[in-house]
Amino acid sequence: MKSLAIFDFDGTLANGNSLTAFARYSHSFVQYCFSIAFVFPIYCLFRIKLISDNFAKTAFVWIFYRNRFAPSILKLAETFALNGIDKSLDPFHLKRLEWHKSQGHAIVIISASLRFILEYWCNKTTVDLIATEVEIGNDNKFTGLLKGKNCYGKMKEIALKRHYNLQSFEYIYAYGNSKGDLEILKLANEQYFKGKQI
């Protein structure tokens, strides 16, 4: 039976938040604290729905990565995959991912985190990845802007349907942990929320 397993990443397959964890990993303590002081009020505005998730994510990227040399950051993302991501994986969801691999199911990670943070780990794990993309300029530096929309909520569903013909799968599993995952959970035959089948 042709099946697809869809995993959210932060808070589901991995504990914690890869976006902020990598920001801390890729900056000095002083740089991180200085930048997070600007990000925090923006995050609060997002939480009370005064700004969109897209605006909030763009602001994060602008503050932390604008004019940073992309090859250097991408190299750090490789070491982060080994030193950060592997140590943060949730046992239940990792076991489920390994089961899906043993069954020959197609597996995709779909995340609002930045693609370059998760890409090395997903390639190493041989799973597909759909995530928020960022712009890199001709000078090989991050522009501070997103390439497309933040992969969150409804955009997860849109991106997933753009990437896959869901009707070609006989059975779909989905794993999530927040309201940002509800759009993908409703697409599945078998749904898991915060590690519990619903």
> How confident is the model over 72-98, as a mean pLDDT?
93
What is the model's pLDDT at position 1? 73
Q: How far is CA 84 from CA 40, 91, 117, 147, 163, in A?
A: 23, 15, 11, 25, 28
Q: What pTM does this model have?
A: 0.93
Q: Residue for token digits 């090395």?
A: 120
What is the model's pLDDT at position 10? 96
Tell me the HSE value of 172 on the side-chain side, using a 13 A CA sphere: 18
Give the tens place of pLDDT for each residue, 132-143. Answer: 999 999 999 999
- Residue 13's nearest CA partner among 96, 83, 124 is 96
Tokens of 163: 């990437």
- The burial of 28, by beta-carbon neighbours within 10 Å (0-12 exposed, 13-18 middle, 19 or more buried), is given as exposed
> 162: Cβ–Cβ under 8 A, 6 or more apart, which residues?
none
The answer to whether residue 83 scores a pLDDT higher than 90 is no
Helices 70-80 & 18-25, crossing angle to 10 degrees? 110
> How confident is the model over 68-78, as a mean pLDDT?
95
> How confident is the model over 163-178, as a mean pLDDT?
96
CATH of the domain at 70: 3.40.50.1000
| Listed range (81-90, 129-138, 144-153) with the worst mean pLDDT | 81-90
Residues 180 and 19: their CA atoms lie apart, in Å, by: 15
Residues of the domain holding 190 = 3-197
Q: Residue for token digits 């900056």?
A: 27
Domain count within the chain = 1
CB 3 within 8 A of CB 103: yes
